[in-house]
Amino acid sequence: MKQDDNSQPLQALTHGKYLISPLTSQQDDGSYACSVSIRSGSGTGTTDRVVRLTQRFRDRHAAAVYAIEQGLQWMGLTRPAVPELRIA
């Protein structure tokens, strides 16, 4: 599996006590895979759930937006206006 910037997180989204961070990685075939980290708490009470998603995308931005949407859905939220993600 080819790593894209070591699966570097893109722009994270904070919602209440949660931090939702999309992660992407470029695959050998050039497509992008994504995961989403859903973190809450702090210090020794931190919980970080990482969900690996199976859908593949043609570009990094689409993969990151999908990961954010899936993180929000996991939290039971419909997609509010997700801010435009800036790709570093």
The tens digit of pLDDT for each residue in 31-81 reads: 999 999 999 988 888 899 999 999 999 999 999 999 999 998 988 876 555
pLDDT of residue 53: 95
pLDDT of residue 77: 78
How far apart, in whole angstroms, are the C-alpha atoms of residue 77 and residue 73? Answer: 5
Tokens of residue 44, six digits: 């020794």
User: How many CB atoms neighbour CB 51 within 10 A?
Assistant: 13
Give residue limits of the domains in the chain: 5-74
pLDDT of residue 82: 52
- Give the pLDDT band (50/70/90) at residue 84: low
pLDDT at 25 over 80: yes
Token pair 């904070």 in the structure block, residue: 14
